[in-house]
Chains A and B, each alone.
Chain A
């Protein structure tokens, strides 16, 4: 389970985020541009330091201003799919997916086995030698997800994972994404602007407005009550 209670002073407003996510639950983080969604993901991943608060994951404290704890990103075991995927352009599909395991000094045999399993599950095995700059948007999305999942993360963060795809590909990828996340069985947070993403993927929804969570409830309830389009 992920529990966060964070405060950070941003340029235009104070960001206050307090929520928890159960194992296997998909939390959709929704809000206008610049309201602090990606900042929350970055703070959870350890890429940004909150001013105060606490983050704990599966009982382990990742950040605590009271106890002066701040684990570095490489020690948090968080799988992060960035908005533009951030695939390493000089590497092949295989090397991108294997990167995390190599950095964690796993044995060659284990790396080979786990990467093969992950690539086959994602339907990318045939193009494992292809450079990532030569693959399509959908394949990039799959590679980024495979790279985040192969490290067996304790938490999955996805920043607008479908926004770079065309509408048809978004429809195809939503189902695939949901299946892969459910198989993973860890808490997941997805940042999105798209109500279809919320409908297809989300269990819960947090609606963020200028750094404050103004709605925290079931995704279906949010859609039913039209939370996303209400005047704040």
Chain B
């Protein structure tokens, strides 16, 4: 009696399971459609850019003084920004990854701030700090040092908005390096500085390079803070995004040409970051 009831119950349950409404085919189809939609949404603007510029693009556009000036200025300032950020950011990131100190939370928040701050706000903030009448700028101006609306201002704006990309990545990369490697190096006779340059940095190097590439990309695309703090003067402060904006009001071909160059650079950046991220030695392999 009991066993037949049990069988009945079990049969009912199995029956329910057999008649479930779950249909994997429909779920797969839905997810596939979602992926296609998202992919199309992301790819369409880039493809459109290529299609539209193909019609009116000529090599002469590449020789346009506006394009040449913007491209050379952007590459120079972005490269300079990366050098500044790497030189100043590497020791800061290392200290933040290894040590606790009073006010560390505040410093961490300040490092993250430019990521969430609208670039235009960053531009005004920089102007209020380093502009002619700025908090620090007024004293610098008295000494004959003026930053705002110069090429240096472009670099300052780029450093301000792009530094968090390196600082964050570098910190993660250093945290990923097990402290035991530094300890081993020290017991073998290495000073802390020697251990840093010969052990910690090389192990973290691919992560650091990824961070530097992301910083370069962010600096290259910087618009809001630059136009507010450095202005839009061709050959002096007009970087590629600013030139695209300016050209849009006159010559669309120049604008499209600059946009294509930036898209091509973006693809190179993505490829490089992926390459260096893959080359990082996973922690489980190291141990």
Contacts and interface: CB of A to CB of B under 8 A. Distances in A.
A102 B189 CA distance: 9
Interface stretch (B25-33, B81-89, B163-171, B180-188): B180-188
Contacts of B184: 80, 82, 86, 88
B187 A80 contact: yes
B183 A99 contact: no
B186 A73 contact: yes
B190 A88 contact: no
Nearest to A45: B187
A88 B187 contact: no
Nearest to B281: A89
A103 B202 contact: no
B19 interface: no
A40 B140 CA distance: 55
B278 interface: no
Contact of A133 (B181, B187, B194, B285): B285
B198 interface: yes
A110 to B, nearest CB: 14
Contacts of A47: 183, 186-187
Given A74-B191, A84-B287, A133-B285, A89 B180 contact: no
Contact of B194 (A72, A77, A88, A103): A103
A90 interface: yes
A103 B183 contact: no
A133 B181 CA distance: 14
B188 A84 contact: no
A74 B286 CA distance: 23
Contact of B203 (A89, A99, A147): A89
A100 interface: yes
Nearest to A90: B202
A206 interface: no
B199 interface: yes
A148 B183 CA distance: 13
A55 to B, nearest CB: 14
A103 B180 contact: no
Given A74-B190, A99-B198, A103-B194, A89 B285 contact: yes
A37 to B, nearest CB: 16
A86 B281 contact: no
A133 B281 contact: yes
Given A88-B203, A90-B202, A133-B286, A72 B190 contact: no
B203 A82 contact: no
Contacts of A102: 198
A202 interface: no
A133 B274 CA distance: 22
A151 interface: yes
B189 A90 contact: no
B190 A103 contact: yes
Interface in A57-91: 72-74, 76-80, 82, 84, 86, 88-90
Contacts of A89: 203, 281, 285-286
Interface centre among B185, B187, B198, B199 (most CB of A within 10 A): B187
B185 A103 contact: yes
B284 to A, nearest CB: 10
Contact of A100 (B183, B189, B205): B189
A90 to B, nearest CB: 5
Nearest to A47: B183
A103 B281 contact: no
Given A89-B281, A89-B285, A99-B198, A74 B181 contact: no
Nearest to A132: B286
A120 B119 CA distance: 61
Given A42-B183, A102-B198, 16 more contacts: A45-B183, A45-B187, A46-B187, A72-B186, A73-B183, A74-B189, A80-B187, A82-B183, A82-B184, A86-B178, A88-B181, A89-B285, A90-B203, A99-B185, A99-B188, A100-B190
Interface of B: 178, 180-181, 183-191, 194, 198-199, 202-203, 205, 281, 285-287
10 contacts: A46-B187, A47-B187, A74-B190, A82-B180, A82-B184, A86-B183, A99-B188, A99-B198, A100-B188, A104-B189
Interface of A: 42, 45-47, 72-74, 76-80, 82, 84, 86, 88-90, 99-100, 102-104, 133, 147-148, 151
